[in-house]
Structure 1
Amino acid sequence: MSRSHRLLQLMQCLRDGAGPKTAVSLARELNISARSIHRDIATLREMGAVIDGAAGYGFTLIEDNAIPPLRFTDDELEALVLGLREVQQIGDPDLGLAAGQALIKLQGRLPPRQSHRLKHAVLSAKRFVQPETPGISAARLRKAAWDEMEIRFGYTDVHGAVTHRQARPLGIAYMDRSTVLIAWCLLRQDKRVFRLDRMRDLEVTQTCFRPNRVPMLRDAIEQIRCDIEKTGKEHNSAN
């Protein structure tokens, strides 16, 4: 781990607002020595961070002068808090953790009044029915989509039949009860929606389909929208 990366990680640990942290506890979190923590605290102070505390008493980040405060309206701040807390509820474990870390970073960069408002926000999000747990690594799937790499996986349909698919991952959508992959299925030669909880044995191939993901995703979403509208019209006609 480079020292610059370690300093960033140390700042993140100090930003979490959990009260004074001793050098021993920080060293345990970062897997380095307590002596290194003391040196890094001194470096951060030289860079402009206001860190209260001393050896044996723990350290608390008071102000980070190296990072300018962010400016949001109160409504924008509430929207950010609500969105991130919703991600904590419905996202996969990696996304949920990232949302929590993002809230901590926001709190560390906001002016004092808004930092207090974020910490004690009026809005919250609660899902009493959680989406089904993905059968594959959602983080690995997201990376494959960003990198525009074709994937292979096993898929179990609603009747229990298992097929093996190769597809171009285009996007991931978080629905009420499940999380789905929007993809171009090479087996069916058409867009398909796959539930992540029914996917197994994800393999990322070496076949890249860049730069086609964005236009393919746009076309797939438009086709899905048209299919939904058509189904709704047929339902209304039948009634």
Structure 2
Amino acid sequence: MSRSSRLLRLLHAMRTLAGPITAARLAEETGVSPRSVYRDIDALRAAGAQIEGERGYGYRLLEDPALPPQMLDEDEIEVLALGLAEVRAWGDPALAQAADSVLAKIAATLPDDRERQLLHAIAQVFRPEPRYILDFDLAPLRAACWREQAIDICYVDGDGARSQRTILPLSLFYTEECVTVLSWCCLREDFRMFRTDRIAEVRPNGASFRPRRVPLLRDYLARLRERRGSAAMAAQRTSHAATDRA
């Protein structure tokens, strides 16, 4: 393997694996020795890549100017075009505008043939109308998620009853019907999904819950996997019981 190919493979591994990534894990992923990984990381840093970390701790790629969009292949460009088109179809004006900006910026860096493919992609999304019209400003929720700041909300449930909640906003979920905010509810002391179309008021309260956001998200996703696994096992037992009766 040439040195340039090895460096590109290392960059790809650092882009796709969750950091911090140990040298041993990078060596396994790229098929070289840990000592070669250390040398290659030094070479990438010298070339301008911003890589955080050190031996014994692990590494994280912060910024990678050495691997521009020109490296995208045809399938990756189709994925990019399809994903941006889908974002524009959700009905979130801020993200739709950001998607157009991303498309223009990436197209400007591509060779002519790749630019044409991106702007006239095979994969298309057609929706005569957005999934829903958002009349709720998501900017405060996005900011609270990123800054890991608790907020106070006034929430209206399906029966019209109002309640005051203090929540730790973790993530925005775009579903078929609406946008919901996954949160840790301080009142219920558990995870809750709040529909943004039922949030009557949002007030930042200044309390920080950093760095709990990522661990809480991992906990929630782990619970989902457990529930799905239990449901699958229950369905399997029901199927076996039906077969036995037959």
TM-score, L = length of structure 2: 0.63
2:84 counterpart residue number: 84
Unmatched 5+ stretches in structure 1 = 1-67
2:16 counterpart residue number: none
Give the % identical residues. 35
2:188 counterpart residue number: 188
2:94 counterpart residue number: 94
Alpha-carbon spacing, 1:195–1:233, altered in 2? closer, same or farther (3 Å): farther
1:51 counterpart residue number: none
1:53 counterpart residue number: none
2:103 counterpart residue number: 103
1:71 maps to 2:75: no
Residue 186 of structure 1 aligns to which amino acid in structure 2?
C
Q: Please give the alpha-carbon distance, in whole angstroms, between the structure 2 residues aligned to 1:105 and 1:114.
A: 13
**TM-superposition CA deviations, 1:97-140 (whole Å, max 9, x none):** 10011111111111011111111111111345744444532122
**TM-superposition CA deviations, 1:124-164 (whole Å, max 9, x none):** 11345744444532122111101000011111222222212
Asked if structure 2 preserves the Cα contact closer than 8 Å seen for 1:152 and 1:202, the reply is yes
Partner-residue secondary structure (3-state), 1:123: coil
Residue 94 of structure 1 aligns to which amino acid in structure 2?
A
1:166 counterpart residue number: 166
Q: Which stretches of structure 1, 4 residues or more, deviate above 3 A after TM superposition? A: 127-136, 224-239
1:58 counterpart residue number: none
TM-score, L = length of structure 1: 0.65
Q: Which has the higher contact order (CA 8 A, sep 6+)?
A: 1
1:144 counterpart residue number: 144
Q: Please give the alpha-carbon distance, in whole angstroms, between the structure 2 residues aligned to 1:131 and 1:158.
A: 20
Partner-residue secondary structure (3-state), 1:70: helix
- The count of residues paired between Structure 1 and Structure 2 equals 172
**TM-superposition CA deviations, 1:48-86 (whole Å, max 9, x none):** xxxxxxxxxxxxxxxxxxxx7632101000000000111
1:207 counterpart residue number: 207
Shift of 1:234: 6.1
Asked if structure 2 preserves the Cα contact closer than 8 Å seen for 1:69 and 1:111, the reply is no
Alpha-carbon spacing, 1:125–1:138, altered in 2? closer, same or farther (3 Å): same
Unmatched 5+ stretches in structure 2 = 1-67
1:123 maps to 2:123: yes
Q: Please give the alpha-carbon distance, in whole angstroms, between the structure 1 residues aligned to 2:160 and 2:169.
A: 23
Alpha-carbon spacing, 1:198–1:94, altered in 2? closer, same or farther (3 Å): same
